[in-house]
Amino acid sequence: MLLVYLVFIIANICSIKSHDWGYTDENGPNNWPGLCKNGKRQSPINIETDNTLKDDLGSLKFLHYDYAFTGILTNTGHNVQITLSGVPIFLSGGGLTSKYVLEQMHFHWGAEHTIDGTRDALELHLVHHDKKYENVSIASQHDDGVAVVAVLFKLNDDDNDNLYAILKAAESVSQWVGKSSIEIQRKVIPVHLLPNDRTTFYRYSGSLTTPGCQESVVWFVMTEKLTISESQVEILKNVQTHNGTLASNYRPTQEVGDRKVYHHLLGYSSSPISTPTPFVFLAAAILSSLF
């Protein structure tokens, strides 16, 4: 019985240690193990706009994103996460070969993806799993099992009214002791957290940006940015965890390597435009002289 008890204690210690990760000091991103350290398709990345491949990948389709949902906000100790209740919310298009279900959304401050080396104030991740899997945890074990839409927020003098109820809830659970949740006092309409122009985005293959960094994610980084005020960002910077104040929770950018980063532009054709031959010009001249 004593041996069983000791094994139980050791197992729990190991379990706690394996989950003891964060964004600072010895438990920060540079010391995350496994794929986080050794993977070849890690996220986030710096998107160099001049090096992207322009093409029409097909429009992203956001089904039920315009519905109003009851939302629960949770301080996970690593971010603030929102889960919605109601009919399933789907993502398709953009080159995806399946339909994906929205499981949760969460924030990173500052932004994780950078554009031409510029890091914005905030990034929202809308995390979806392929509908053939039960959840993101299972889907992350399969190629392209997860699809994440990333929305960047740049600083602005004015508050973003669409974030008011979410940040009010974040304020309420900021004094974190264990995992704490609260109902968001206003219905959440996901489309209000997307840019108006959804016809352009970047797409690439990458990973989860938190341990264990599974390389199973199709990333869509929206080109158009939303805005947030400095005072709104400060609410998130004051979120508390067992490791202290979560002043920032972004993973540094990872090497792109030989991956292709696409820039979707609606109606864009990557096919070369053929140059008329001299024969075509001659034929046109002859025809014009006949009329």
Residues classed as catalytic? 78
Handedness of CA 212, 215, 217, 220 (dihedral sign): positive
Between CA 46 and CA 117 the distance in angstroms is: 6
Cβ pair 47, 118 in contact under 8 A: no
What's the token pair of residue 64?
A: 């039920």
- DSSP result, 128-169: EEETTSSSHHHHTTSTT-EEEEEEEEEE-SS--GGGHHHHHH
Q: Which residues contact 256 (CB under 8 A, 6 or more apart)?
A: 45, 46, 204
Name the CA radius of gyration of the chain, rounded.
23
For residues 169-206, b (16+ Cβ closer than 10 Å) or e, as one string? bbebbbebeeebebebeeebbbeebbbeebebbbbbbb
Classify 170 as helix, strand or coil: helix
Cβ count within 10 A of residue 249: 26
Between CA 218 and CA 204 the distance in angstroms is: 6
Task: Please work out, in degrees rounded to the nearest 5, the angle formed at the alpha carbon of residue 37 by the alpha carbons of 217 and 12.
Answer: 90
Q: Which helix (H) or strand (E) holds 115?
A: strand 114-115
Cβ pair 210, 275 in contact under 8 A: no
